[in-house]
Amino acid sequence: MGTSFPSIFNNVVGPIMRGPSSSHTAAAVRIGLLARRLLDEQPRQVVATFDPDGSLASTYRGQGSAMGLAAGLLQMDISDSRMVDAERICREQDIEVLYRIAKLAISHPNTYHLAVKGAGGAEISLVALSTGGGIIRLVELNGEAVVDDSIYVHPLLPIQPQGGDSLPFATPEELENLLAGQGGSLSRWASAYEAALGKIDVQRVVELGAEHFTVMKDSVASGLAGTNYNDRILPRQSDRIASAQQQGLLIPSKLVNSIIASVTAVMETKSAMGTIAAAPTAGSCGTLAGTLTAVAERVDGGAESMAQPVLAAGLIGVFIARAGGFAAEEGGCQYECGSASGMTAAALVELMGGDGQTAMNAASMAMQNTMGLICDPVADRVEVPCLGKNIMAALNAVAAANMALAGYAHVIPLGQVIQAMREVGEGMDKRFCCTCKGGLSTTPEARRIHASMNAATPSGLDTTRGG
């Protein structure tokens, strides 16, 4: 849920989840779970209404919102392996889930209007937003505006923010002032920030960082071992790099090729409903996980030592989240893969022993290079061109990290880069913001793939394919 002071583990590195999209799948689970808890009884009927001009009207099937909403209504966790069967389980439990496309007064493209009836006669209505990275915000309950949704945070997120009064800093500029006076690594300040926000021990913050890296590393291993899932565009490909390298077919660069394979493996795990850590989103989950895993193989250190790069990445994401979030539906893939590239660049500087200011410089350079990146998924799936953009973001992060470590001038401070990215996003044509209405999404081949994978989305109530 939303908070004015983002958390590394609530808003940036995570959630640990299954599904193709954090803003569509994980957020839908949380919205369904929230509706179930507010109803306080077994649902009998749920009508979900999406605006035709928003992102959900065209993507709620392909990107897992229908599956996620059903899972939440069944009180499943976002990492539950049964999610793929959630709609079938809803039918078995006589929970009817209907989808309606109708014009609404919405201020956000990821807006859910739900009308819920319970088996015992209770009824509620709610309006909730998915703001990116699996984070949701309740804005209306039973026709009344919700001003403070913090009461719903604790059951849904790993960290319960206690307020910003004791935070050591809140903006990139404030942190840069601290770094100029006191120095230190980015992970040191990230730990201090998260511990103060959640009123938890620094050691617990480090433990969470280590746990998240373990999930990332496991997602690489799972993908390399081989995945399969019927509802996806791309076949298994992550094993092809090693094979081609052994045959001498590739341009020599063991690290680059290892990163390509690792990023691909994470994306394949995601697309097969395996467990991943969204960082900062599921659509961009391959960038940080694949790059860190590949580089860590060449740097000594156990899981706990890898917590530091994760925390460094998370702190860069905190600044981005506070400026507006990671939803590609609002500003294109610069908000997802672009943010992930900046976060990964900072993580790599941390891994190589660079100081906090150098890590922030690396993030600035990486994000300058991805400004204006659009989001145009093919056939509603988070695969094409998402895989290539994750790999591009990963290799851009390596270049930016090395440039920063070598002392290249970043020129534009990180905070100003984030604000410029936000300005670009606000001015971006919404056809290119994960609506599947422009870019590669509408090419003839993309339309052919879409037709072969999806039945036409009906107008009015989607009852035949609902839960």
List phi, psi (to 5°) of 112: -105, 120
Structural domain count of the chain: 2
138 & 185 share domain = no
d(CA 388, CA 268): 12
Single residue among 111, 146, 181 that ends a domain in this structure: 146
Of 223, 231, 268, the residue nearest 63 (C-alpha): 231
218: domain CATH number is 1.10.4100
Of 361, 285, 328, the residue nearest 435 (C-alpha): 328
Tokens of 10: 């609530």
97 & 187 share domain = no
Single residue among 104, 131, 146 that ends a domain in this structure: 146
142: domain CATH number is 3.30.1330.90
| Strand pairing report for 16-17 and 96-101 | unpaired
134 & 278 share domain = no
112 & 222 share domain = no
List phi, psi (to 5°) of 249: -90, -15
The model's pTM is 0.91
Per-residue pLDDT of the chain (467 residues; tens, 9 = 90+): 444 799 999 999 999 999 999 989 999 999 999 999 999 999 999 999 999 999 999 889 989 999 999 999 999 999 999 999 999 999 999 999 999 999 998 889 999 999 999 999 999 999 999 988 888 889 999 999 987 654 444 456 778 887 777 999 999 999 999 999 999 999 999 999 999 999 999 999 999 999 999 999 999 999 999 999 988 999 999 999 999 999 999 999 999 999 999 999 999 999 999 999 999 999 999 999 999 999 999 987 556 689 999 999 999 999 999 999 899 999 999 999 999 999 999 999 999 999 999 999 999 999 999 999 999 999 989 999 999 999 999 999 999 999 999 999 999 999 999 999 999 999 999 999 999 999 999 999 999 999 998 754 443 445 433 33
Residues 6+ apart with CB under 8 A from 449: 233, 378, 379
**Any domain includes 164:** no
- Note down the domain range covering 334: 172-448
**Any domain includes 49:** yes
102 & 239 share domain = no
Residues 6+ apart with CB under 8 A from 250: 241, 244, 257
**Any domain includes 154:** no
Residue pair 363/369 in contact by the 8 Å Cβ criterion = no
DSSP state of 9: I
258 & 113 share domain = no
235 & 345 share domain = yes
- CA distances to 79, 334, 362 from 432, rounded to whole Å, are 29, 11, 27
